[in-house]
Amino acid sequence: MKNLLVISNHNPQNWSKNQLEGWDTINYIPLPNIDPYKEINELINEIKLIHHEIDKFVNSCITEGNTPYVYLQGGFDVCFKYIVVYSENSSITFTFPIIEHLEKKFEFIKWK
């Protein structure tokens, strides 16, 4: 089974049918509000919270014999720090959407 964990400010309930296709389950965790004035070293608690949620999801998927995918969007500096610093777990497959910008609206194309 392909299981997706979405950590984002954008709830997958609002995704297009195309974007929802191909996933057996989609779990959603709202990205914590990130103070844009904080320096990256001040965001460690938020990053640890994300790390904990991803680890729980990945471990649960592996225990059940499923493939975990993680879609982490928003708070670019937090996402980047997570991917660079904490993503030592080789069981995590990060996935990214290919989108097209149409008249101030983004349209999903495919997963990468």
Looking at residue 54, what is its pLDDT? 86
- The Cα 23–Cα 4 span in angstroms is 7
- The Cα 19–Cα 38 span in angstroms is 33
Digit-coded pLDDT (tens) for 43-85 = 777 778 888 888 899 899 999 999 899 888 876 656 666 666 6
Task: Show me where the domains of the chain are located.
Answer: 2-111
Has residue 99 got a pLDDT over 70? no
Q: What percent of the chain has a predicted confidence (pLDDT) above 70?
A: 69
Q: Which residue has the tokens 């610093």?
A: 85
Whether the pTM exceeds 0.95: the reply is: no
Fold of the domain built from segment(s) 2-111? Rossmann fold (3.40.50)
